[in-house]
Structure 1
């Protein structure tokens, strides 16, 4: 369940980062702020079961890679093979962290 919170946070991060760049109206800014709150709430919930450093690394890495890809596809950002290579490195790192990190084990009576 903790990894689902990380995934939710990363997906919502895409919306609030785009909102920070393109919001023009009050309603769009309110949506951006709500997305930030949801994203950080999901991070906090994930940190209850996973190491904070792992959560943050996966959250920022996957979100950054997704945002760059969306910039290429939707906003026609400059596309270079070097950018693709570095996105691939980020994604490889995120997958590696996910594969090598388990949930925290809680002892009976708390940690």
Structure 2
């Protein structure tokens, strides 16, 4: 259950990262409200996952999912450059998230 909450938190964080730019420096009320709601939802889900997962593991996985999602959306949607370095970085982040999951205690 905690890992499911953590994955959900990461997905919401991806949505949150994409909701920042439309706020236009938090000058547009509705996009700003959406941005704040997504941020609160991501942190809430993360806090629920941390009830049974170690804080360090949960936070590292949470930010890893968010980073991979944000970079991937940047490449696909915004046509951000794809470089060997970026692909290597993404690969290491994904590998780290997978390693954190498979080495976690079965009690969690």
TM-score, normalised on structure 1? 0.88
Is 2:36 the partner of 1:64? no
Q: Please give the alpha-carbon distance, in whole angstroms, between the structure 2 residues aligned to 1:7 and 1:87.
A: 17
1:5 and 1:46 in contact (8 A); partners too: yes
Is 2:72 the partner of 1:90? no
| Cα shift at 1:61 | 0.9
| Cα shift at 1:57 | 0.4
| Cα shift at 1:104 | 5.3
- State the match for 2:6 in structure 1: 6
| Cα shift at 1:103 | 5.8
Structure 1: gaps of 5 or more residues: 106-111
- State the match for 2:81 in structure 1: 78
TM-score, normalised on structure 2? 0.91
Structure 2: gaps of 5 or more residues: none
| Cα shift at 1:22 | 2.8
Q: Displaced runs of 4+ in structure 1, greater than 2 A?
A: 21-25, 102-105
When the two chains are superposed, the root-mean-square deviation of aligned CA atoms in Å is 1.4
